[in-house]
Amino acid sequence: MLDIGPIHRTEYELGDDRSEPVVIAEAPGRIHYLGEHGEPKAGLFLSSTIDRYIRLAVSLRKDSSLRFYAADLGERKRTTLVNLKYKREDRWANYIKVAIHVFAELGCPVKGLNFTVAGDIPQQIGLASSSAIEVAAAVALKGFFNVGVSDEELIKRLAAAQTLFFGKNTNFVDYLVAFSAKKDTFLVVDEDSMETKRIKSPFAKYKILVMDSRVPRFGVEEELKQRRQDIKKGLELLSQKKPGLNFRDYAATDLVESMGDLPEEIRRRCMHIVQELRRVNDAEDALRRSDLSVLSRVFLHSHESLRDLYEVSCPEIDWLVKRALETEGVLASRMTGQGFGGCTVTVIAEEAIGEYRRRLEDYERIFGFHPLIYEVKPAGGTQVVQAAAPTPAIPSA
């Protein structure tokens, strides 16, 4: 991880004088192990942060310009508060703008600010690098302006601002994970209630590997949109026969009994949702009891469901999961992320990693893609790395 304090001061020609405070915050990436393809607004997830971070620095300018510098990329962007809006060409800087909007709405004196961002979260493979930029920026600005706003309120405001900037509904699960995480801990996240439960990791003797399949992903948003429409229609049809507010009010037997009443494709999508809710609960119980054999079966059944019922896997991902599970010392493996390519996550004994890598050597020959492997572990949550001198607090709106 780059030490962006000196980089920030050099980029913006700041000295070491404390009258020019620089606040630095960092936010982690995350993995959803279960529940990622659930019912919108009522999902249940098994997640953790990972020891890959976005780090962001903020300082005051003497003019009214908002300047952004991506140290990893050597890219610079700029805007002003008056022109604070989404611009496609601003790419990564748009996520910082989301956080700026939140604090402008809170009444903070947002005028001229400098931002520097850097990180080591792999991009665009479903590890929440964009959410980490938003969270790191929000926490840095909260410290910079000394705003009295709770994490829960900040999460809600970030989600609202994200929707405003990008024009699509945003869930706040990634924000919840970033704010709630503790080192070596898994989280059960309830999207409906915004509650999280922490479970100590039983994987002391195992490693977690994220495998990027490198499969090009085209038309993913349209496919996922269709599945969301399917489960919405399925819930409407189910509720005509048996009242329920969401899929938590139904069991697999309700889907079996609905055969003939629901179109088969919609029924399969809904069956995945209902069974995945159960799997998250089963995984929570297995983690608390350190029952790794049960946890292994839960992960396998989840992947099979994503492949056969929700249909968001692909041959390359299925091959990677199968080869992993054939390796002695692999506890569990399944797809993670939006699907149609993307990543697998594998829990493996350290001594088995060499054999695991050897078994995957055929992947590039068969499919033509060179996979990338990242070793990660459950990490801590968002934090301020460098604070400014104390100033009077600005009360929340």
Smallest CA-to-CA distance from 76 within 63, 62, 90 is with 90
Cβ-count burial 367-397 (b if 16+ within 10 Å, e if not) = beeebeebebbbbebbebbbebeeeeebeee
CB 7 within 8 A of CB 157: no
- What are the beta bridge partners of residue 185? 200
- What are the beta bridge partners of residue 56? 25, 117
* Sign of the alpha-carbon torsion through 306, 307, 312, 318: positive
Q: Write down the number of H helices and E strands in the chain.
A: 12, 14
CB 202 within 8 A of CB 215: no
Decide: helix, strand or coil at residue 383.
strand
How far is 78 from 73, CA to CA, in rounded Å? 15
CB 316 within 8 A of CB 367: yes
DSSP code at position 387: P
Report, as residue numbers or ranges, the catalytic residues.
174
